[in-house]
Structure 1
Amino acid sequence: MAQVVKDYNPSIQRTTQLQYFKPIEPHLFSGDGMPYYHNGTFYLYWLLDEGHHAGLDGLGGHQWALSTTTDLVHWKHHPVALGIDNEAWEKSICTGSVIADKGLFYAFYATRVKDANGVHEQLSYAISNDGGYTYEKQSPNPFYLAPEECISRDFRDPKVFKGSDSLFHLFVSGNLKEPAIGGFGGYLVHLVSADLKNWKEVDSPLRGQQGTPECADYFKWNDWYYLLYSIAGHTHYVMSKAPYGPWIYPKSQSLIAHFECVYKTARFKNGRRIAVAYSPYRAGDKDDGDRIWGGTILFREVYQEPDGTLSTKFLPEVLPASSPMTIPAIKTPSPSVVAIRDGQLNIAAAGEMGVAEMDELPDNYRISMRIEPDGNYEELGLFLRATDEHESGYRLALNPNHETVRMHNTSIDAVKGLNEPIFLDVIVYGDFFDVCVNNKRTVVNRLPEQKGKNLFFYVKNGNATIRDVKIEKITNH
């Protein structure tokens, strides 16, 4: 079992291209992100992890690390902002949130505790007098225990905000002991305060969840209110014209992806909103290994569609550095099905599968293209890191009938517009296969095993034109 991390060195971490960031120390990892924007500075608090949640008897042993930026390009890493002071009872400083008020920063978090009655979680808070860089824990500690109807082991991740009623609010993850239907007891405990110190419980804004709704986020954007919460790492969102519902559950859940865990967001300059998650490692470093807790930080830019729903795309300021390269020649093994004309790839594969090949790509690269389907098709996409047709690499498959995008063995659904012209943007970097479709939906997978240098384009049971192929070599792996 790992203990409390004491050897994290902020001075040696990379300070640009922070997508896929983890501490440079091999045994340390990044967990849940807690972004906050204040007076021109973007604060990213994140859980510092050793041993994939193994710290302090397997209860986490987490502490809050801090990285800041004013432009999303240049970052500064700071010493632990909120740490464990007493290993005898503070088994983890869990995910939380911060708010600035009257010159002070307030950090609200749950402490995971192990005692004679087992493991439980309780609310604590700390205050910063130096602009959010270091925090001092406050008394009483804890200041709030789980309500009687809530399982005390599932009482964590407080989200603090100031409401339109001028009161401060906390949304806290909870799970009912006696739900109406077994297994659907997940809810948010809702606390309010006038002074950030004395709290009382009011009606819950969310109930009936299958599992504890973790790491809640809440914000107003133009005319809509948004509530985010994560179940088993998958971040759902609901939206409403009123502060606390009734909620609409959108069909296109743009933040749900298996390797993009517990998104939380913060506003940024010029009306932008930045989402931060962590991308977990795979057990045994195998393509089919389960997710394990802790990994690397993952950024997305979130934007609001005209109907209020949310879309996601790559955040350009944090992407790996890359440089243009000459596009390798494209081979067309079946000219009757696949043809190259005027720099575009035409695939006519009704009733069969049309394939074109590109060889000798770099280990790490970014490839983008425009795909124009001609009518419906069963499936199209790419095979990445292929060796040859027998070791075809990892399949990136777009399916318009199912509205799915699959990156090997993970997928997203309710992806609209796959029968229309598609802009496809893919980053192949280390074990990351990061995909953005039409600058609206993203999916990432972690696949460490195959190392081929070839790529296949393909269309199955349909016709499509692929044009404007662009490849850049990633230079800072």
Structure 2
Amino acid sequence: MKTMIHTLAYTALLSIALSSCNDDNAPILTQKDWDNTATYFKPTDENMFGTYYKPQLGYVGDPMPFYDPQAGDFKIMYLQEYRPNQTTYHPFWAVSTKNGGSYTSLGELIPTGTEDEPDAALGTGCIFYDETNKVYYTYYTGHTADTEVVMRATSTDFKTWNKDRTFFLLGSNDGYSRKDFRDPFIFESESGKYHMIVSTKKDGIGVLAEYTSTDLKAWKHSGVFMPMHWGADRFYECADVFKMGDWWYLVYSDQNAVSRKVCYFKGSTLEELKQMTAAPTFPDNKEGVLDSRAFYAGKTASNGTDRYIWGWCPTRAGNDNTAVGAAPAEPEWAGNLVMHKIIQHEDGTLSLGSVDGILNKYTNNTTLKVMAQSETGVAESNDNYMLSGDAYVLFNRLNVHNKLTFTVTASSNEDIFGISLARGTDSKKYYSLIINPEDNNSNRKINFEQKGKEGIGFIAGIDGYKFPVPADNIYHVTICTDNSVCTVYINDNVAYTNRIYGIQKNCWSLDSYEGSIQVSNIKVSYY
């Protein structure tokens, strides 16, 4: 009799547990019929991200990538951001990677100074390896409330770093701002001379100051490297100079609240590059913009074959996808480490593309299943979908880390289409990336919108840049997601980064808003 009572009690508890699986807002640990439900589920990010690195505690600020010829890997120092920070803050932590697919933490490498020292807080810098003497140099920013100064540390093994307390570059000694003098970057010119550029101001206007050296130790002031092409409200951070093929490039982050994006200039020679900001002469029809406002402080490194760029994707206050920090506000500072490949086109223009080491991680294939669709405007044939007018097709749930690839063939330049994420059949709000016609349909741009009955529509401050309509009207799209971080690539010519909470374990849709499109080669994979 006692056994029967226990069995009945267990059965009742099991019934309660199973019935709770129908609650789409249940915690992620409950048993849920993921395959056969399509209502919205409220997930949370994993503490550790699998692709777009975030430390277990804190966040990634301004990355400083470097290819280590001794170890044959990329090492990325970054400003370790805590919330809240201590009185002394932003020590240099680091990770290493072979291909960008995964990272190994190297821990803290360069600590802050004390409250009374010029590097009470650390700011962005760079790493350079002296092959002759087998010494690693890190030049970095020492920051206090009223002064910024360039400092350095050295190492012979990239593990133990020694600060040189005899070396300081103070901008006010050379006619530059005392308070804004930061982000030193070193490159070697074709003459063999070493150049250091520093982001600063002269007479209240942003400039890049130049210093030169023959031994990486003693530096001589050489004047203004480049003037800024806008007035006192612009300041170029995290500058990076490199030669790729026949072209010289400057990559920088525009601190202005309206722009706040990673951009570039190009020149056929180093001297020509220096003149590009004076007019200015933009390198392409998108004013040199490389990504959205969700990718900042981008700096590059090359292994001699390929060049990559690392920046940080900001978090959103309150996990609110609409809290993007549109001007005059700014996004939250720091987040996840995002990596793109730099693609150089025949005319020397640059775009950002996907990284093979990341793409190759998504090895498990998802079987596509239609969960819902609009009453009209959808036709399917051999796994290809024709969408016309205001139509959508909703697919089964994504995993936590996803890769989506598909091809869109538009019928005209006027078609409006996109993809929606964090969507369920009961969603009153969801989030859409819309490929929108611009400039009398000669260009397109990725817009971010909150759709649904309670959606606010267009979200200012996180749209992409304009790009030409493909001549054949075909868009090859790749989307990689890791928890809430999302990167989008189109035709090796467009890159777009965003943070969208709620992607994982929810459905997604392909959407048509006007005109008609054909979507083919749809593949979803995960790891």
TM-score w.r.t. the length of structure 1 is 0.85
Q: 1:291-326 CA distances to partner (integer Å, 9 max, x unpaired)?
A: 211111111111211111112112131456451011
**1:10-159 → structure 2 map (5 Å cutoff):** 19-25=51-57, 28-39=58-69, 40-51=72-83, 54-56=85-87, 61-73=89-101, 75-89=103-117, 90-101=119-130, 102=132, 103-114=134-145, 119-130=146-157, 132-147=158-173, 149-159=175-185
What residue number does 2:370 align with?
Answer: 329
Indicate whether 1:457 and 2:510 are aligned.
Answer: yes
The amino acid of 1:188's aligned partner reads L
Question: Which structure is higher in strand share?
Answer: 1
Q: Provide structure 2 residue ranges, at least 5 long, that are not aligned to the other structure.
A: 1-46, 326-330, 450-458
What residue number does 2:444 align with?
Answer: 403
Indicate whether 1:189 and 2:209 are aligned.
Answer: yes
C-alpha distance in structure 1 between counterparts of 2:502 and 2:393, whole Å: 23
Alpha carbons 1:403, 1:418 under 8 Å: kept: no
Larger relative contact order (C-alpha < 8 A, sep ≥ 6)?
2
The amino acid of 2:53's aligned partner reads F
**Secondary structure, aligned partner of 1:44:** strand
C-alpha distance in structure 2 between counterparts of 1:313 and 1:94, whole Å: 28
C-alpha distance in structure 2 between counterparts of 1:72 and 1:458, whole Å: 31
Alpha carbons 1:121, 1:146 under 8 Å: kept: no
**1:63-462 → structure 2 map (5 Å cutoff):** 63-73=91-101, 75-89=103-117, 90-101=119-130, 102=132, 103-114=134-145, 119-130=146-157, 132-147=158-173, 149-178=175-204, 185-208=205-228, 209=230, 210-232=233-255, 233-244=260-271, 245=273, 246-247=275-276, 248-250=281-283, 251-252=285-286, 253-269=288-304, 271-289=305-323, 290=325, 291-318=331-358, 321-329=362-370, 331-335=372-376, 337-349=377-389, 353-362=390-399, 364-388=401-425, 391-400=428-437, 401=441, 402-408=443-449, 409=459, 410-418=462-470, 420-448=473-501, 453-462=506-515
C-alpha distance in structure 1 between counterparts of 2:127 and 2:202, whole Å: 26
- CA shift at 1:161, angstroms? 1.4
C-alpha distance in structure 2 between counterparts of 1:256 and 1:108, whole Å: 27
C-alpha distance in structure 1 between counterparts of 2:486 and 2:74, whole Å: 27
**Secondary structure, aligned partner of 2:425:** coil
| Cα pair distance change 1:310/1:333, threshold 3 Å | same
- CA shift at 1:383, angstroms? 1.7
**Secondary structure, aligned partner of 2:144:** strand
- CA shift at 1:150, angstroms? 2.3
Q: Provide structure 1 residue ranges, at least 5 long, that are not aligned to the other structure.
A: 1-12, 179-184
- CA shift at 1:347, angstroms? 2.1
- CA shift at 1:462, angstroms? 1.1
Q: 1:166-192 CA distances to partner (integer Å, 9 max, x unpaired)?
A: 2211110012234xxxxxx11101111
- CA shift at 1:264, angstroms? 0.2
Alpha carbons 2:403, 2:481 under 8 Å: kept: yes
C-alpha distance in structure 2 between counterparts of 1:268 and 1:237, whole Å: 20
C-alpha distance in structure 1 between counterparts of 2:298 and 2:411, whole Å: 36
Question: Among the aligned pairs, what percent are the same residue?
Answer: 21
**Secondary structure, aligned partner of 2:270:** coil
Alpha carbons 2:398, 2:504 under 8 Å: kept: no
| Cα pair distance change 1:361/1:280, threshold 3 Å | closer
C-alpha distance in structure 1 between counterparts of 2:141 and 2:398, whole Å: 47
- CA shift at 1:200, angstroms? 2.1
| Cα pair distance change 1:463/1:223, threshold 3 Å | same
C-alpha distance in structure 2 between counterparts of 1:417 and 1:240, whole Å: 26
**Secondary structure, aligned partner of 2:463:** strand
| Cα pair distance change 1:71/1:297, threshold 3 Å | closer
- CA shift at 1:361, angstroms? 4.1
**Secondary structure, aligned partner of 1:302:** strand
Q: 1:328-369 CA distances to partner (integer Å, 9 max, x unpaired)?
A: 12644334x3211222111233xxx23223244445533211
- CA shift at 1:286, angstroms? 1.7
| Cα pair distance change 1:106/1:457, threshold 3 Å | same
**Secondary structure, aligned partner of 2:179:** helix
The amino acid of 1:221's aligned partner reads M
**Secondary structure, aligned partner of 2:357:** helix
TM-score w.r.t. the length of structure 2 is 0.77
- CA shift at 1:106, angstroms? 1.2
C-alpha distance in structure 1 between counterparts of 2:121 and 2:347, whole Å: 40
| Cα pair distance change 1:441/1:134, threshold 3 Å | farther
- CA shift at 1:77, angstroms? 2.3
**Secondary structure, aligned partner of 2:234:** coil
The amino acid of 1:156's aligned partner reads R
What residue number does 1:3 align with?
Answer: none
| Cα pair distance change 1:461/1:404, threshold 3 Å | same
| Cα pair distance change 1:333/1:194, threshold 3 Å | closer
- CA shift at 1:414, angstroms? 2.1
User: Superposition RMSD on alpha carbons, in Å?
Assistant: 2.4
Alpha carbons 2:362, 2:403 under 8 Å: kept: no
- CA shift at 1:137, angstroms? 1.3
Alpha carbons 1:63, 1:93 under 8 Å: kept: yes
The amino acid of 1:135's aligned partner reads W
- CA shift at 1:135, angstroms? 1.7
**Secondary structure, aligned partner of 1:412:** coil
The amino acid of 2:467's aligned partner reads V
